[in-house]
Chain A
Amino acid sequence: MAEPSSPLVFPESPGLSDRVPATPVSAARNGSARRPRQSPSAGSSGHSTPILPGTPGFGNRTPNYFKFTGGRAREAEPQAEGVFAQAPVEDPGSKTYVWGTNISIDDTREAMHLFFERFRESPEAVEAKYIQLLDQVIELEGRSLNIDAQNIFTYNEELYSQVVRYPLEVIPLFDMVVGDIARERRPDWNNHIQARIFNLKLSTNLRDLNPSDIEKLVSVKGMIIRCSSVIPEIKEAFFQCLMCGHFPEVTPVDRGRVNEPSKCANPACSAVNSMTMIHNRCTFTDKQIVRLQETPDAIPEGETPHTVSLLMHDKLVDAAKPGDRVEVTGVFRAMAVRVGPNQRTLKSLYKTYIDCLHVKKADKSRMQMHGGVEFDNNEIFLETDTSPAVYEAKINKLKELSKLPDIYQKLTRSLAPSIWELEDIKKGLLCQLFGGSTKKLSSGASFRGDINVLLVGDPGTSKSQLLQYVHKIAPRGIYTSGRGSSAVGLTAYVTKDPETRETVLESGALVLSDQGICCIDEFDKMSENARSMLHEVMEQQTVSVAKAGIIATLNARTSVLACANPSGSRYNARLSVIDNIQLPPTLLSRFDLIYLVLDKPDEQTDRRLARHLVALHYEDPEVELLEALDLPTIAAYITYARQRIHPKLSNEAAERLIEGYVNMRRRGNFPGSRKKVITATPRQLESLIRISEALARMRFSETVDECDTVEALRLLDVALQQSATDHSTGIIDMDLITTGVSASERTRRENVVSSVKVFIMDRIQAGSSLRITELFEDIRANVNQEMSLQDLKTALNTLMTEGFVSVLGDNVARS
């Protein structure tokens, strides 16, 4: 198939072109007289080349060359006035030039040939890079060859500037040269190969495109917001005579028009007006109009994003979908708008669009957790990530950061810099953000890598602010308030408290965030129902939704960051954590780190807080935040670490972990005491591993070293010391978390049971019964032990299971 988009109108061989009468090759466009063309010059914003509507895009590349006699080659300087508008004189010694410049077609072709044949990425490379690539394209019967503009620049700066400044003329030359080389490599090759140039040295901000960029090669970044449907555009028309069935050669489309033969070419037939177009033997190409919008980060504060239309051809059609972030390279063009059809006056407006050459997908949004490079061999023009150089630079910056000796402190400082103190809690949150690595055993068992954190504390200790902050930098986080969350569903209900007449919102929207952090404020106010869902989420990492008889199990690989107020609004130091939070122990034990954010009266802290706030209100507060990393940097740092760093436990670290764990457990054993207090459980060991991994990630270290485990032990210790201290003994007691009852409490209960048993044996004859209240009074009066009615009932229950007594309503009977 012959490609009409190949430079049909371009004189094929230089030798021939010397003989060709020197008229502009694509002289009269749209039937109008040739307009003087002014070469665009950098820096000026004026330009005088209106491209009329219907100007073929890159689907049909129509170069605009002009031929000058050798002596009259113009300087490549801007020329207005159209001095050379007159028809050039035919001269056998003339050279072909790009209109309005001193760029010689022959020289340029020569330069391109050299570029293709000589360019090697490294001196050691055996074969030229693009010859190699071209061979691949030929092998695959491909239609396009990607050319890295940076390569052109390294090889020949002049060629690069020619491509960028006169793409409409120079790129078709590239096509031709590629075609020539392809035919050299495989003589029977007659497909057209498009040269797709990408990765310009300078990428223009969409906002900064201006009239001086018209007809230049530009590269812009943005997000696709709308794609038109695919528009078929006819390239070659096939006609057949209705009378005799004769068909001539296909008729190529000439600038948007098809010339229908008026007469059958078959001399035997010669019927008039008998030619009809056979649609399914015509060739069409695809075309699509796509709208590109600036990426959010390029928009200055307080402005709305700009957009630009893109014209896509052939394989670029549907290469990107709405929502994709892309970098496109193409020619910026303008098209005049006419007042009405067939009118000679033009509206003074121009519509601009970018005729695309190359589309590069660059999705590096913070959402992306599995940021592997997706590379599709079939569509070689699609690449992920930004230009390697920019990307490298960014990564290098992050790596440099990671090498700082105080990166851990720096990150801690940068986390919610407006919140004072709470160092260790911030460290815990950092660990959560980085996360441990998920382990999957070959047996199918998997261990979560997500770290769950619970903050319990007095109101007004900026817990919510911490949550908000984490939510902001966390990859894919959701923020919800436990108050009235209904776990599933997106609706909410407004209710009125009948007594206080306060309006309360029962919001829904606990749509769990897979691969992210779920921040739950007011965890204690969460309904039992919604909370029970979290059990599954926090250990199995799935959510089961039952709806219409179908139970669906969805992935919910999420870390939970919850904060709760103590049940009595203020933390009661005399009660245990469990009593203070009133959360089921089963749920509590699933949190790796539980912090008490207690407001301890400390004048020093208060003074710093006061000074900080006064400064906030009266001075320039920017100054003291300089030390911290900014939010995008932290977010990038965390995303990179989560994607690329998967640390492994080193032997020393493992030793240290075991040692630390054993120490933790040993703390419960007192020599000479029979009482056994469990200070750590295997869940804590798992937590320790996760936290150490997160700490290693912070340093971009591939191994978990001893220092990480030491810090992990410290962090866990800090968290446990605060939350799992048995207030009657002052010892860490994991039983407090796992069952809600401390070891000393358990012993006390056992004592109660045995004394009640003894008492009942004494007082109640087998078969007779006694009222519980009477029994209680009796025991209170006679037994020298502190006991509440509740204690008695618990004890009776225990005895009942033993079969010692039976309780019927209010009566106790000995069986």
Chain B
Amino acid sequence: MVAPAVDLLRNPLGAVRGLFSIAAMVASPAPAATLELSGGDWGIKGVFDKFLYEEGAIAQVPHIDDLAHDSIPSGSLVRFRGMIQDMFDVEYYVGAYKDCNTWQTNKYTDSPVPQDTEQQIWDRRLFYCVPIPGENQWMKNTWHSNAVQPDATSQSLKRKREDIPATVESMDCDSPTKEHNSCLVKIYDGNDADLKLNDIAEFVGIVWKESELVSISASDSSALAESLMEDDTSLQLPSSTVPRLHCITMRKLSAYSIPSQPGALADICSVRESLVCTLQSVLGEDRLAAEYLLLHLLSKVYSRVEPLAVGKFSLNFSGCQAGADGSVSLVASAVGHAISVLLPCSQVVPLSLEDLNSCLIAPRKDYATNRLVTGGLQLASGTHLTLDETALNTGRLNETGVKNLQSLKSVMESQKVDYDFQYYQMEMPTDLPVLVVSCGKSRILPADALVPLRCSAEAARIHAEASDLSKWRIYLSSAREADHVIEPSMQKIVEEDLVAARQKDRTVGSETFHRWLTMARLLSLSYSERSLTRERWEMMKELEMRCAARLRETTT
């Protein structure tokens, strides 16, 4: 396939139409063959993939939200990075029509077609995408400054923005502003095969805005047409606020990964040590808590055996003071801030009665609009949640509040969120590491591990050099993605150990075992080791012992 000599960046539609006409020409002798055109993409994706990723032109493609909406002309090539918040019904459109005996394509556009022509109906999928919820500023900067700006200048800018205190978001219902910066992505040719709800992806395609602000009245104003239009979700989203992106190619991203990773880190141990030290100062010089926090930050669900989500490691810091006059507690805000500069996506949520009672945090389907109403728990996998239980006052929880707490509980226990579809609940697996900050042990939100904080100093905000920060980020993201195995000999040792521990203390049950195995794994990963060693196992037991000793102190 010869790439047509058109500017893919400025005139992508020209390229599409060029490729189509070549394909149509090849097929034209046999009339039936035009039908075949609908299946393939005439090599478009290949051409663009080569252009964007191999030749590196992706950097020149503007981000849709970097530009003012008016400044993007319809038909230009843009990219959009976001989370799939809702999936709409399949849209049927006129894919090709015959104009003066030659086939024209209407793919990748929303342009009107002349009536009374021979037409072919094709279909495409519609995804409603929103900016990634809880995405931290540094992550946004990394993406947007990716190639546009050289690093030197952006560095200072980045630093400045990072100093902005951690955003504290109450798990609010969707406000009207939510539609801001969202995008309706239209996907062709079943390229969506592996995209799921709450996935993060970068879409590259042609932006399209309807030329006239159409008052799409169904022609005959017949009741049927009207009622059918009523249900049309995309009509509720005028293209003036929600641009349409006709996706040509896309990349699926994960919430853990950060875009550019310049090689492996030189000295894992020293990076780890410096990170733990920093976390220690954040936690008021509590080394043990810092170690636990590091493991917690590395955790992710790696397998599911109903009803268990293996690998999750939720953490509960007890012994924290509530913040003054209902604000976020000091520990929660310091930890929340530290996490926000370390992990790509995170949120600090104060659990206040008012917030819990006011709106549902689990997403629900609104059948009147035929849309999924988002909630605070509709987050991409890998988003970190810090729940501040110190903000919870005595008072009455209403039905909403009870449901909300149940949702949070189900996230902590099985990493699942029940989406409310009115007639039934749909379980959505998720992966949100949860850190609970509370006064006493949290009874409402049972975490996998409980660490009573022993602060010898005030919890302090993170202070670090930008170079350190970027090292830590790469360290965390690579450790999180790594695989881990156990040798048969080590497996024997672990088993023996577990049995012995149980013989000694009958309160040690499967919960404890799960915690130990998860911690041992995370500890190994934190040293960038791919298999479990005796040393790490012993280290884990040491940590647990110190933690248990603290727990005994607190209870007596």
Contact = CB atoms under 8 A, between A and B. Distances in A.
Given A46-B120, A418-B307, A606-B499, A505 B423 contact: no
A350 B215 contact: no
Contacts of B215: 340
A233 B226 CA distance: 14
A210 B372 CA distance: 23
Contacts of B324: none
A348 interface: yes
B308 A418 contact: yes
Contact of A616 (B95, B197, B310): B310
Given A348-B93, A503-B444, A53 B222 contact: yes
Given A211-B122, A348-B94, A301 B220 contact: no
Choose among A233, A334, A462, A500 the residue with the greatest number of B CB atoms under 10 Å from its CB: A500
Contact of A491 (B118, B217, B228, B399): B399
A54 B222 contact: yes
B224 A46 contact: no
Interface stretch (B28-36, B140-148, B254-262, B470-478): B28-36
Interface string A274-311: 00000000000001010100001001011111111101
A491 B356 CA distance: 13
B122 A302 contact: no
A146 interface: no
Interface string B435-448: 00011111110000
A92 interface: no
A412 interface: no
A438 interface: no
A609 interface: yes
Nearest to B484: A618
B196 A346 contact: no
B469 interface: no
A79 B34 CA distance: 11
Contact of A617 (B441, B507, B518): B518
A48 B92 CA distance: 12
A205 to B, nearest CB: 12
B263 interface: no
A395 interface: no
Contact of A57 (B89, B199, B224, B229): B224
Nearest to B228: A351
Given A46-B96, A465-B307, A505-B444, A334 B392 contact: no
Contacts of B443: 502-505
B494 A335 contact: no
B285 interface: no
Given A296-B421, A353-B228, A502-B441, A418 B306 contact: yes
B399 A460 contact: no
Contact of B396 (A53, A209, A342, A493): A493
Given A36-B118, A299-B426, A302-B429, A289 B227 contact: yes
B495 to A, nearest CB: 4
A490 B400 CA distance: 10
Contacts of A311: 224
Interface stretch (B9-17, B172-180, B509-517): B509-517
A223 B423 contact: yes
B113 A606 contact: no
B186 to A, nearest CB: 11
A501 B310 contact: no
Interface in A302-350: 302-309, 311, 322-323, 334-342, 344-350
Interface residues of B, number: 115
B376 to A, nearest CB: 18
Contact of B486 (A348, A494, A509, A618): A618
Nearest to B308: A418
Contact of B219 (A52, A223, A469, A611): A52
Interface in B177-209: 196-199
Contacts of A322: 367, 423
B95 A46 contact: yes
A289 B231 CA distance: 10
A520 B264 CA distance: 52
Contact of A341 (B96, B120, B217, B395): B217
A613 B514 contact: yes
A169 interface: no
B119 A48 contact: yes
B121 A495 contact: no
Interface in B347-376: 353, 365, 367-368, 370, 372
A323 B499 contact: no
B445 to A, nearest CB: 9
Contacts of A616: 303, 305, 308, 310
A496 B495 contact: no
Choose among B92, B393, B426, B442 the residue with the greatest number of A CB atoms under 10 Å from its CB: B92
A352 B92 contact: yes
Nearest to B508: A460
A547 interface: no
Contacts of A502: 439-443
Interface in B107-122: 109-116, 118-122
B503 interface: yes
A83 to B, nearest CB: 8
B35 A503 contact: no
Interface string A612-624: 0110111011000
B489 to A, nearest CB: 13
A79 B31 contact: yes
A810 B206 CA distance: 94
B223 interface: yes
B428 interface: yes
Interface in B30-67: 31-32, 34-39
A460 B501 CA distance: 15
A477 to B, nearest CB: 14
A231 B222 CA distance: 11
B373 to A, nearest CB: 12
A307 B89 contact: yes
Given A54-B219, A337-B218, A621 B305 contact: yes
Choose among A77, A334, A338, A497 the residue with the greatest number of B CB atoms under 10 Å from its CB: A338
Given A81-B31, A465-B307, A614-B486, A346 B218 contact: no
Contacts of B287: none
A47 interface: yes
A507 interface: yes
Given A339-B216, A494-B396, A599-B506, A82 B225 contact: no
Given A302-B428, A609-B510, A609-B513, A339 B112 contact: yes
A459 B506 contact: no
A218 B486 CA distance: 53
B370 to A, nearest CB: 6
Contacts of B229: 337, 351
Contacts of B509: 459-461, 599
B219 A338 contact: yes
Given A211-B121, A346-B115, A494-B393, 20 more contacts: A36-B118, A81-B31, A231-B224, A256-B222, A296-B424, A299-B426, A311-B224, A335-B225, A337-B229, A346-B113, A349-B92, A491-B399, A494-B392, A497-B440, A504-B443, A505-B443, A617-B486, A618-B484, A621-B303, A631-B306
List the 7 closest pairs (A to B, CB-CB), nearest first: A460-B509, A302-B196, A46-B120, A502-B440, A610-B498, A54-B220, A350-B92
27 contacts: A57-B224, A81-B118, A82-B118, A210-B123, A211-B122, A289-B231, A304-B365, A338-B219, A339-B214, A345-B114, A346-B115, A348-B109, A348-B110, A348-B111, A351-B232, A418-B307, A491-B397, A494-B394, A497-B440, A505-B444, A599-B506, A606-B498, A609-B510, A614-B486, A617-B311, A617-B518, A618-B517
Interface of B: 31-32, 34-39, 86-87, 89-96, 106, 109-116, 118-123, 196-199, 212, 214-225, 227-229, 231-232, 303, 305-308, 310-311, 353, 365, 367-368, 370, 372, 389, 392-399, 401-402, 405, 421-424, 426, 428-429, 438-444, 484-486, 491, 494-495, 498-499, 502-503, 506-507, 509-514, 517-518, 521
